[in-house]
Chain A
Amino acid sequence: MTKRVGIEVSLAVAEAARLANVDVVSAYPITPQTHIVERLAEMVANGELDAEFIPVESEHSAMSACLGSAAVGARTFTATAGQGLELMHEVLYIATAMRLPIVMAVANRALSGPLNVWGDHSDVMATRDVGWIQVFAENGQEAFDLTLWAFRVAEDPGVLLPTMVNLDGFTLTHVIEPMMLLDEAEVKRFLPPNHYPLPLNPAKPVTMGAFATPVHYTEAKKAQEMALTQAKTTMLKAWQEFADLFGRHYHPVETYRAEDARVLLLTMGSFGETASVAVDELRARGEKVGLVKLRMWRPFPFEELRHAVQHTDVLAVLDRALSPGGPGGPVCSEVKSALYMQEKKPKVFGFIGGLGGRDMTPEDFEALIMRARDMAHKGMESEFEMIGVRE
């Protein structure tokens, strides 16, 4: 039976992996992800989870071991954060190219330097183009649900792609929330066994990860691109199945009080919850403002985004990562790109904030939304602004 419990979000993510009955966990501890794999190691040691826990010497090895594990058809989970994700970087592309359904939780963290272990999105933005399915959780319940959902999607015979569930470091990972957890029987109804179609098997030898000469590489890349964009159908279907079974609904782009809004703010991850408090406050003062939350980052939900912002005049986009010397934040530049060909589109203003664990309060979000409105009123042009910087 579904039970409502108070649990640290990291432990709930570990519980999701246990409920998925993973076969292999290969991971290296790194703040703020450590509690996830620490709990999984404990479960394996205590016999609560019948899995191999591979205590590797680095994240590069963690992901490499995940490749081997997924290649034999074992259900495979790992988790990392910040520098750990960067150390995995080259192996992430291999997981995509080999179409291995690895599920990974990323406790989003700033990148060095300066050394900083706190939350932002620099780590995941640096892995934007690795070809993984990438989604963001706004709270602990979503982190739990999306982790289970990720196995369902990644291992689907029509998808077979590695899947990354992003949850903000500390803001989510280290917070105790009331959550509705599921039990084994419920999870079984949602998540079928993993059957990788061409596993490594001595009885039927195959070669995985062969090199591709120039006459094959482009076709391989095209197949990867099509697999990722077409995965969206299964992602939506799996969210619908999840909703039918457990009553919690997920969408690629979600909105809050956005229907008649003249000014919209777009966020990803846990900032959505704080920003919704700011939206309530501004609405109480009669401001027509609302919120757009991007859950699906890869594949990018072009249609849903365009639909969500089609009636607004101003769209403020908050990035928790900087593209140095470039167009500001990666989310904003993609949002602008998605809207460029639209005849009617809002004025888009990019903001960079919440870097390296810098807190953003509801008042900060109010100021941000009003700043975007004022910039539009004054006809100001701006590539982006870094907010909250001391001069």
Chain B
Amino acid sequence: MPKLPSWREYEIGCIVTQPGSARAYRTGDWRSQRPIWKNERCIKCGLCYIFCPEGCIRGRKDGYFEADLFYCKGCGICPRECPTGAISMVEETE
């Protein structure tokens, strides 16, 4: 954990002067379940990629998909939308 700033160290009005700083925010911490793919059932339709509200599902070179767990909040939308049932949610135990 980096040292947190004193109240005196924030910019006026808590203005953020570094563009794109949200990228450093690990929303993956919110997750209690994570999606896993059974690629033998995957038809590479990309609906999981399209529906992911976090934009954290990416297409791999082999055409299958995976979630970036740094950002994935475990919302469960991808298994809900997957037409072949290739995605399921498993409890986080990490």
Binding site for B on A (CB under 8 A): 97-100, 160, 197-198, 205-208, 210, 212, 215-216, 218-220, 222-223, 226
Contact = CB atoms under 8 A, between A and B. Distances in A.
B19 A223 contact: no
A218 B13 CA distance: 13
A223 B17 contact: no
A18 B11 CA distance: 31
B13 A207 contact: no
B79 to A, nearest CB: 28
Interface in B1-57: 4-8, 10-17, 19, 21
A100 B6 contact: no
Contacts of A216: 4, 10, 14
Nearest to B8: A223
A219 B15 contact: no
A216 B8 CA distance: 12
Nearest to A223: B7
B5 A99 contact: no
B4 A215 contact: yes
B15 A208 contact: yes
A208 B12 CA distance: 10
B5 A219 contact: yes
Contacts of A210: 14, 16
A215 B19 CA distance: 21
Contact of A97 (B4, B5, B8, B14): B14
A219 B6 CA distance: 7
Given A219-B6, A223-B7, A223-B8, A206 B14 contact: no
Given A215-B4, A219-B6, A222-B7, A97 B13 contact: yes
